[in-house]
Structure 1
Amino acid sequence: MYAIIDIETTGSQPSDDRITEIAVFIHDGNAVVDQYTTLINPGRPIPFFISQLTGITDEMVRDAPKFHEVAKEIVQITEGKVFVAHNVRFDYSFLKKEFSDLGFNFQRKTLCTVRLSRKLMPGLPSYSLGKLCKSIDIPLRMRHRAIGDAEATAVLFDRLLKIDQAKVDADQDDKLDNTSAVTKEIKTSLLPPAISREMVDALPLEAGVYYFHDEHGEIIYVGKSKSIRKRIIQHFSIDFKSKKSIEFKNRIASITYERTGSELVALLYESDEIKKRKPFYNRAQRRSVYHSGIFSYTDQNGYLRLTFQKAKTEKAPVITLANQFQAKNFLFSRVAKFNLCQKLCDLYKSNGACFDYQVHQCNGACIGKESPEEYNKRVQLAIDAFKYDHDNFVVIGKGREPEEKSVVVVENGCYRGFGYIDESFCASTLQDFLDAIKPYNDNKDTQQILRGYLRTKHQDKVLVF
């Protein structure tokens, strides 16, 4: 049994918007045997452009039941049935969110008629409901109303069932795999329309970096994981965060990957690839240039001081950041956390005490009240918090093959890159390892990745030079 469903909403964000109408057509595998439809009061105004699109107005839903008043009916009519929709992610995500708000975990097997249409009717110019129905002569009345779209989807589904059955019969005659496309799609309905289960099953259960490509081959997302296949399956699990997440998954047309063996190498390589390729859906790490830095020096009075300035100097910064604004804010946060002096960190200009001393948040290093020895201890703690434990070291981890090891090198406090060595590799100096790696850029992100990884309970070997 199948429940063919369409909903209308106040917008496209399942986490924020609400359902205004739902229609359900029950199909027993041969024909539609029942239907249910109702307007729903969303408890909020319907935006004008949504009313223009759907024809549903605030006045129409004013006396309609609220979702909690029809929730039991929706549960009962869909119970034990496969949830069918055109782009099932959208409708299913909204219903899951509505039920989640009521404290109920709504779960149904799902089937997407977009995916099923692509498989059983390949080569059509478009698989959007309106254009698809026009291509195969399915009447589509009351477009963008739940009952109209659900009715058209039910007709489409009925036609797809007949095509599928004919294919099953033909495959049986030819003694081929006669598992129906519908059965296969129910098992893989959470996948993007262009991604097959076979493509996912072929992915490795190993650490590495993976790439999502759109239909033109363009990389739209780069990710990393200790297990590529498991992580990608997580990507495709249903959620109800936003329309953007649904659109992102629907754009994925192919998947490629690079095995790294090492989780640390996967983290570092992903960061570099994002900066190099700048995929549309990777925003957090796309920055590739770091113009500013935090520097340290000892003044004539013996106080260890921190300052922020452009990173293009002969002296290496303690840490690099994107710009002066970020560097200044970062330094303010260190001052607050380690009880440092704003004046001795170039954050407060004064001939006397800094502002924090006046409000009893500075111990008086700015006017010589606190000794350099006591003050410098806290400055060193602040520096140590964003530096490595050693200036020169190598992290040796798992390779891509049993006889191989991964190598990550840090020299003079700077990340130099990674590479691979075999079991017979002999090295006695840091230079030996430097010769074995491919150079990569050092930046704030790589520094954070390395510091964070080295603080975990990793199994890698760390050699200090």
Structure 2
Amino acid sequence: MYAILDIETTGGKYNEEGITEIAIYKYDGHQVVDQFISLVNPEREIQPFVVNLTGINSNMLRNAPKFYEIAKRIVEITEDCILVAHNAQFDYRILGTEFRRLGFDYIRPSLCSVELSKQLIPGQPSYSLGKLVRSLGIPVSDRHRASGDALATLKLFKLLLDKDSSKSIIQQSIKLNPKHQLEPRHLDILADLPSETGVYYIHNAEGNIIYIGKSKNIKKRINQHFTNTNRKSKQIQNLVDSVSYETTGSELVALLKESEAIKTIKPKFNRALRRTRFTHALYSFTDDNGYINLKIDIADGRKKPITTFSNRDSGKSFINHAVEDYNLCQKLTGIYQTKTSCFNYDIKECNGACIGKESPESYNERVYKLIAKSSYANQNMVIIDRGRDIDERSAILIENGVFKGIGFFNLNYQINNLEILQSIITPMQNNRDTQHIIQSYLRKNKRLKVINFD
């Protein structure tokens, strides 16, 4: 992670300068993930030649924050980052001076884009920022202002990364700023975890569950929790005392167990997953001519959906495939807004329900097939998926359209009637989230074995 930096100062005697403006762009090697730009009240006079150069004068800075007011933000945005600046020695020295005035040692690894440019783009007539970026065709605005110069440095740095065929910048960066190292207690926890699909529970010293998650590889996912540097991961790292888990074999079982456990236990760090997992749904209505219309809309708890989707794009993709697979009308599925025929009719791929050419009975028969395939309403069925061992399978029971629970059975034990199945099922809650999880999983895994009961 890099922090692309530019600072404007008051000018003056060495180590007596003050910052008048600062811009920092946090760059992950692919995109800007955070930024901070601010004028700064330096609490000292600005040299006249600097005013002429930057356009920043004392009147502009009268109500600007003083350095101590933005120091914490600078520390946070540059934490675990390598500072990159054009003539980095100057910017790093100015920052260090300001922090020392606050009694704080500011230490960060740094890279200088001047030195890198001399290595990777030799023979340039000048390596000053303005002349260099112009010669390289890099657009620059607000020259001699912190934001404009920092953005120009960012664009230059991207070019330098592209030109660095030996990847020496990346290798040097890793040496300057090694990855977060695991603490011994974290290594001890990881040693006992499996690389299997299941649900995991992170406990604090009191044994309370502070986070619940699911993964196809529990060990790998916990390792990510222990090495990530985001705020939530760091909090978990500080509080974790142990991790318990249960393997499921089936990702669907893991999803259902995770959902129920989060709703029941309400762990401290699972706030986001307590909310509903879907935003859009598929609804149907019959128009005045007797045709069943389908519509993707925002999920409404007062209406009963056919199926649900995590986002609008997922819903649009579903309905587009449905039109193709079931030969449905674009107009009656909300894809093509028109008062006459749909586009597919014009190219002879629609039977004409949009203009009353195909009978409602004939058209609706195909819609019913789609609805039956997409929804398990009023159905008695069991979904068979992977188990925890080679000779085991998982069973997800749906009874009269209601999710009843999950269980595991040995392949030598034949599931042939509802009573036997009910005896191995662990009851679980049926709610809109479980319906969404099951329907979404069925859409994505079309080869799943599904047994229907009378």
TM-score by structure 1 length?
0.49
Counterpart for residue 36 of structure 1? none
Query: How far apart are residue 201 of structure 1 and its match?
Result: 0.3
Match of 1:272 in 2: 260
Partner residue of 1:53? 71
SS at match of 2:339: helix
1:194 Cα deviation after fit? 7.8
Alignment partners' CA distance in 2, 1:100 and 1:244? 30
1:226 has 2:216 as partner? yes
Aligned to 2:195: 205
Partner residue in 1 for 2:181:
190
Q: Within the alignment, does 1:68 sit opposite 2:86 as a pair?
A: no
For the structure 1 residues 374 and 278, does the alpha-carbon distance in structure 2 shift closer, same or farther, using more than 3 Å as the test?
A: farther
Given that 1:222 and 1:273 are in contact with CA atoms closer than 8 Å, whether structure 2 keeps it comes out as yes
Corresponding residue of 1:433: 421
Tell me, yes or no, if structure 1 residue 418 matches structure 2 residue 406: yes
- Find out whether 1:262 has 2:250 as its counterpart: yes
Out of 306, 316, 323, the position equivalent to 1:318 is 306
Q: In structure 2, do the counterparts of structure 1 residues 287 and 378 end up closer, same or farther at CA, with 3 Å as the change threshold?
A: farther
Note the C-alpha offset of 1:448.
Answer: 3.8
Question: What is the CA–CA distance in structure 2 between the aligned matches of 1:337 and 1:399, rounded to whole Å?
Answer: 31
Q: Distance in 1 between matches of 2:289 and 2:73?
A: 75
Give the Å deviation of 1:202: 1.1
Counterparts of 1:216 and 1:421, CA distance in 2: 35
Letter paired with 1:446: I
Q: Cα offset for 1:281? A: 4.4
Contact 1:392 1:410 survives alignment (8 Å): yes
* Structure 1 residue 48: Cα displacement: 6.9
Q: Which runs of 5+ in 2 are unaligned?
A: 6-22, 38-63, 76-84, 90-110, 119-156, 346-351
Match for residue 339 of structure 2? 357
Give the Cα–Cα distance (whole angstroms) in 2 for the partners of residues 337 and 244 of structure 1: 39
Shift of 1:256: 1.9
1:377-408: per-residue Cα shift (whole Å, max 9, x none)? 77457536734699443234454467754322
**Cα–Cα, structure 1 residues 355 and 294, in superposed 2: closer, same or farther, change >3 Å?**
closer
Which of the residues 441, 455, 460 maps onto 2:446? Answer: 455
Say whether 1:107 aligns with 2:95.
no
The CA distance in 2 between the partners of 1:338 and 1:401, in whole Å, is 36
Question: Deviation digits for residues 118-174 of structure 1, max 9, x if unmatched?
Answer: xxxxxxxxxxxxxxxxxxxxxxxxxxxxxxxxxxxxxxxxxxxxxxxxxxxxxxxxx
For structure 1, which runs of at least 5 residues remain unmatched after alignment? 1-6, 21-45, 74-96, 113-188, 349-353
Q: Which residue of 2 aligns with 1:395?
A: 383
Question: CA 1:63–1:355 in structure 2 vs 1: closer, same or farther (change >3 Å)?
Answer: same
Aligned length: 315
Matched AA of 2:427: P
437 and 54 in structure 1: CA distance in 2 versus 1, 3 angstrom threshold: closer
Helix, strand or coil for the counterpart of 2:193? Answer: coil
Per the normalisation by structure 2, the TM-score is: 0.50
Structure 1 residue aligned with 2:136: none
Structure 1 position 304 matched with structure 2 position 292: yes
Q: Which residue of 2 aligns with 1:26?
A: none
Deviation at 1:209, TM superposition (A): 0.5
Percent identity at matched positions?
34
SS in 2 for 1:356: coil
Which residue identity is paired with 1:225? S
Distance 1:68 1:253 in 2: 44
| 1:451 CA drift (Å) | 1.0
Deviation at 1:290, TM superposition (A): 8.6
Is 1:406 the counterpart of 2:394? The answer is: yes
**Contact 1:8–1:19 (8 Å) recurs in 2:** no
SS of the residue corresponding to residue 222 of structure 2 reads helix
CA contact (8 A) 1:212 1:254 kept: yes
> Can you list the C-alpha shifts for 1:214-244, whole angstroms capped at 9, x where unaligned?
55655443222333223322444467xx555
Letter of the aligned partner of 1:201 in structure 2?
A
- Tell me, yes or no, if the aligned pair for 1:338 and 1:379 is still in contact at 8 Å: no
Distance 1:380 1:217, change over 3 A: same
